[in-house]
Amino acid sequence: MDELRLSHVDESGNARMVDVGGKDISKRTARVGARIWMSPSTLRLLQEEALPKGDVLAVAKVAGIMAAKRTAELVPLCHPLSLTQVDLTFEVVEADSRVDIECVTRTEDRTGIEMEALTGAAVAAITIYDMCKAVDRAMVIGDLRLLEKTGGKEDYIRSPEPVTSEAGTVVAVNVSGSKGQRKIPMPEARMRTDHGIEGDVHSGNWHRQVSLLAQESVDKMTAAGLKVGPGDFGENITTVGIDVASLPLLTTLEIGEALVEVTQIGKECHTRCAIYNQAGDCVMPREGIFVRVLRGGRVAPGDTVRVRAWGTGARGVGATVATDTEP
């Protein structure tokens, strides 16, 4: 089996532009997707063409086409290609308050056309942000990904995105003023950007600002004979219907009005805290996760927990992006 290596790096580790002169000319296509999420009110204005800068999607389409044609000027080691077609389409997904973008590029040339499609989709998303930012600066761009390519050495079709556990519901929002204690369910709470839940002891400028645990995990402990409920394992958000422990790092979740990013799965308990002593066991180190708040907002029982973008990081207990310590 040939050793995998980066084609844009030579034997000395220096960047290089690949010589494609010996390759055959063939028909090549690429299809790329991207998404941009916004508030429902902003999406409504976009659909009604009532935003201050005019027809958002018409301008975004032109911007994406223009960007695809300039890819070799933006990405240093890309070859200038003779594009035969660039097309962009948009789908408004009201249920998730987002716009889905697809960019398709075609050429007859010696190298692939994926970078042009990626550039077109990315700039279209950025243009939508620019057109809407006067009324909504909390928009989130994500899920930029190659969906399909044909031509060249091999074709590629992206596997379907996981759908089995992409949405659930908030069962309880729990807060405590002291570490190592059960948290108390509240009628609602407010998350603050890059801080956590206001009034909770674990909030602060670090990677474990808010903790989540599935009700299904709590139910396991109940079935084992423990008298426990939401907040008893120290979690801030108790969920149901979404397997939080299986989410990869860097997954972004919308929880009520807030947007968060998964930063750690499970944790190491060095001592048996009051939670363990009171409950007799603690499932949080095995099945709880921690997140950083990207966008603040109100969170309450009954709110939807929805995967906005699947992360590319590690999975499983012990996975973390930690570069900091608890404040």
List domains and CATH numbers for the chain: 26-157 (3.30.70.640), 167-309 (2.40.33.20)
Residue 66 has pLDDT above 50, yes or no: yes
Q: Is 243 in the active site?
A: no
Predicted confidence at residue 146, as pLDDT, reads 94
Separation of alpha carbons 296 and 287, rounded Å: 24
Quote the CA–CA distance of 174 and 12 in Å, as a whole number.
55
Mean pLDDT calculated for residue range 18-22: 78
Q: What's the confidence (pLDDT) of residue 1?
A: 38
Candidate from 129-133, 185-189, 312-316 with smallest mean pLDDT: 312-316
Mean pLDDT, to the nearest integer, of 2-13? 69
Residue 163: pLDDT above 50?
A: no
Which of 143-147, 197-201, 268-272 has the lowest average pLDDT? 268-272
* 285 or 27, which is more confident: 27
DSSP 248-306: PTT-EEEETTEEEEEEEES---SS--HHHHHHS---HHHH-EEEEEEE-EEE-TT-EEE
Backbone angles phi, psi at 42, to 5 degrees: -65, -40
User: Percent of the chain, pLDDT > 90?
Assistant: 56
Higher pLDDT, 228 or 16: 228
Q: What is the pLDDT of residue 147?
A: 94
pLDDT reading at 95 higher than 70: yes
> What integer is the mean pLDDT of 295-302?
94
Closest among 205, 187, 185 to 195, alpha carbons compared: 205
Residue 183: closest CA among 275, 265, 267: 275
Which position has the higher pLDDT, 103 or 180?
103
User: What is the pLDDT at residue 100?
Assistant: 96
Alpha helices in 133-162 (DSSP H): none
Residues pairing with 196 in the sheet: 192
Distance CA 64, CA 120 (A): 4
Whole-number Å distance between alpha carbons of 325 and 61:
44
**Reported confidence tier of residue 121, pLDDT bands at 50, 70, 90:** very high
Q: How confident is the model at residue 74 (pLDDT cuts 50, 70, 90)?
A: very high
Mean pLDDT across the stretch 15-44?
88
Closest CA to 295 of 94, 38, 122, 45: 38
**120, HSE (Cβ side, Cα atoms, 13 Å):** 30
97 or 28: which leads in pLDDT: 28
Q: Tell which residue, 60, 67, 71, has the closest CA to residue 35.
A: 60
In sequence order, what are the residues at sequence separation of 6 or more whose Cβ sits closer than 8 angstroms to the Cβ of residue 311? 247, 248, 249, 250, 251, 252, 261, 262
Mean pLDDT of 284-307: 92
Q: Which helix (H) or strand (E) holds 19?
A: none
- How sure is the predictor about 35, in pLDDT bands with cuts at 50, 70 and 90? very high
User: In the chain, which residue ranges form alpha helices assigned H by DSSP?
Assistant: 40-47, 56-69, 71-74, 114-132, 215-223, 274-279, 284-287
**Mean pLDDT to the nearest integer, 212-240:** 89
> Which is the catalytic residue, given 10, 19, 100, 130?
130
Q: What is the mean pLDDT of the chain?
A: 87
Q: ∠ CA 23-24-30 to the nearest 5 degrees?
A: 90
Mean pLDDT of 195-216: 94
| C-alpha to C-alpha distance for 51 and 42, rounded to whole angstroms | 8
| pLDDT confidence of residue 185 | 95
pLDDT attached to residue 276 = 61
Predicted confidence band at 213 (pLDDT cuts at 50, 70, 90)? very high
- Name, in order, each residue with C-beta under 8 angstroms of 265's C-beta and a sequence gap of 6 or more: 245, 247, 249, 289, 290, 314, 315, 316, 317, 318, 319, 320
